[in-house]
Structures are given as C-alpha cells and as structure tokens.
Amino acid sequence: MAFRVTYVASLILLVFNIGGALHFSGSNAVEKTSFLMAAFALLFRKGADKSIIFLLVGEIFLVFILAAATPYRGFSWSIFFASLNQIIILFALLAGKTGFRDQQAVWKATAYLPLLCALLGFAYHFTGMKPMTAVEFATGLNRYLGSLSAAAFTSALGMCGVFAAVQLVLSGRKAYAILVIVDLLVLLAAGGRATLAVCVVVTGASVLIQRGIAITTKLSLIVLGSVGGLAVMAIFWKSFATRLAQSGDNGRFIMWDYLRTVIAEFPYTGIGFGHQFFITPHEVEILTGSAAAHNDYIRLSVELGTPGMIIFYVLLTAAVLKASFRGRRPNVVAILAYAGFLFLSNSDNALSSPLEFPLIFLALLSTHEKPYPRRLVQTRSLPQMQRGSRPAAAVSQGG
C-alpha cells in the first residue's frame, strides 16, 4: 500500500506543477524525492526481482566508475548523486513485485491525470498563474501545456493516460471509454508526434492480444478506433500538417552539433552522469529554447562516453526483458512499450521524464489478472481419506 500511495501522490504532485504555477524553485527536488520514496517502497517489498536489482547495481557501478575516471574539470559529485534517481526509479519499476490492487490504482490514477492536467491548466491560465499554451520554436504554432511546463510532458501524460484507460475498458470498466477520448484529445492538442505513434502501436497491440475477447469485438474496436482517430485527426489536421512539414528537429541540430564536439573531447569516459544539462552554453539554450539534449543517445554519450552509453542500454534492455518474461507468457506489450521508449529517446529526454518511461511499467502491470471473489472460493474440507487411498473417481477409472 505504501508504494501505491507514494507513486500516485508523486504523479499528482507532478501534474500540479507547483514550480511552474507558483514559481517555487525547490519543486523539482520535492518531485524527485517523492518518486524516489515510491521507488524504494517498491524495491523493499518482498519478492523484488533480484536479477534486476543486480543489473541496477551494475548500472550504478558503471556510471560511478566513469564519473571517477572523467578528466572533465567541471565535474560535480553533487550533480552526479542528484541524477541517480533517473536510474533508480526506472529499475525499481522493473524489479518491484506488484499485484492486482497496484495495477488498478496505478491505471485509474494514470487515466485521470490528463483530465486533471486540463482542469488545472484552465485554472492556472485564467488566474494568471501560468499560460496553458506555448509557441513552438520552429513553426510558431501554439501547443497545449495544460498545467505542465512543456508540451512534450503533456503529450507523454496523454499517451500513458490513453493506454491506462484502454486497459480499464478491456477489463470491463466501460465508463473509462470517456477518459480514453479525453486523454487522446490532450495528447493531440499537445502535438506530440512521436508519443502519438507510440500510443497507437502499444495500445493497439494491447487490444489485439487481449485474451477473453472475441476476434469480432477486437475488429470492431479497431474499426471504431480508426474512424474516431480519423475524425480527431481531421480536427487537428492543420496543426499536424504544419508540424510535419516545418518543425523537423525543432532546431535541436544546433544543440546536437555542439554536444558532438563534447563527445569528441571526452569519447571514453564522458563528463559525468547528469552533467549534460549544465554544460550547454547560454547562446545554444536561447536558440533551442532548452538546455536539455532532447536525444538520450547523444546525452549519454556526452556523460558516459560512447562505449559507456552502449553498455548502459545493454544493461537496461536486459532488465526490461527479464521483467517482460517474468510471467507465465512473454509480455509482448511491455517489450513494445520499451521499443517505444527507445524511439522517444531519439528526439526527447525520455530517461529523465517520469511521464514517458512509466508506459513500460503500465504494460508490465497487465500481467495481473483479476482474483476470484472470496465468496466463490470453496472452503469446505474434502472428506478425510486414509493414507494411501485414492479418490473414488480415480478408483472407478483405474480398475
């Protein structure tokens, strides 16, 4: 129960975005601390996957050795240790043992979060606390923020919300179909192209492989989803067409060109995990609108060196596969969600975003099936049998 409470509270705290609304500079530290509390609550549960914990230790050992070996003079141990939460939280969600109650609590909370984001965004906007839209650098288009500070966060929130709401609908809670629509609208309004693609593939796959649903029902859901998707796309077509034609990498090539010069200077050790954000020149930040790399492969190559970046993803992939094969059958949806995470990592800060990698966790929760009601469990004891005797049915069939 401790994990459920702290994890859901962390998500709600993130969506409230106190830092953006009230200009509270310490909000990021509070959010990180709350997610870390949830991670440790899950890791310290009985039954956590020891193999994944071992991989977590290996990942931390890797970044520590490279940090100790870096010749970068601006290295800071305080920045390094403050950044480790990105690794710990992700591996904790993969290693921790969860149950049906965790599944339902997390899915329901995630399904409602985009709606909460929209309501808070409306309130913040009309009270003058924070605008609920922002102008994109390359296209000049307004992208929806809701209560959050970046459209990429809002679109990722919508992506996870759609997936969670669809899982609840598939489990028989048809009322959540309304939230599927609301969450999809939030995702589309935020203008996330990559998150929309990942959402369609991962959520669609979860519907197709869902057990206990007739093929005709699945086909009907696909047809209805396609028609509804086309209708929604028609509404947002102008915005999407403009972004597809004009935004490109949204000016990020300026950032990437600079970071490649850093990789060339520190090719084997990098500059230290968590340090990329702090080495971006102010001029580049002004041109791109952000100090973050928006490409985790380049970011980790800067921080760990290219060999370190490769080893980092090898260990992470091993952890995801171990978690995906933990049940009675492989969790194909979780593997697809991880593929989506790797796809998002090419154009976003997926590793450090607590709204993108949780899609993998949401997919892993689908392995928990609804337990039988207690009233259906027979509690009558079987007739006492003498030691060595066989049941009557076995005797009659055995001869």
Higher pLDDT, residue 383 or 367: 367
Residues in a beta bridge with 133: 144
Beta strands in 244-379 (DSSP E): none
Backbone angles phi, psi at 134, to 5 degrees: -145, 150
Is 47's pLDDT higher than 70? yes
CA separation for the pair 12, 114 (Å, rounded): 10
Average of per-residue pLDDT across 245-263 = 78
When pLDDT is averaged across residues 189-208 and rounded to a whole number, the result is 90
Q: Which residues contact 141 (CB under 8 A, 6 or more apart)?
A: 135, 191, 239, 242, 243
Mean pLDDT (the chain) is 86
- Whole-structure pTM over 0.95, yes or no? no
In angstroms, rounded to a whole number, what is the distance separating the alpha carbons of residues 55 and 355? 23
* Contacts of the segment 233-241: beta carbons below 8 A, 24+ positions apart: 233/188, 236/188, 236/189, 239/141, 239/191, 240/191, 240/193
How many helices (H) and strands (E) would you count in the chain?
19, 2
Find the range with the poorest average confidence among 165-174, 249-258, 349-358. Answer: 249-258
* pLDDT, average across residues 166-171: 91
Position 134 pLDDT exceeds 70: yes
Per-residue model confidence (pLDDT) at position 250: 61
1 Cβ partners below 8 Å, 6+ apart? 101
How far is Cα 163 from Cα 225, in angstroms, rounded to an integer?
13
- Count of C-beta atoms within a 10 Å radius of residue 185: 19
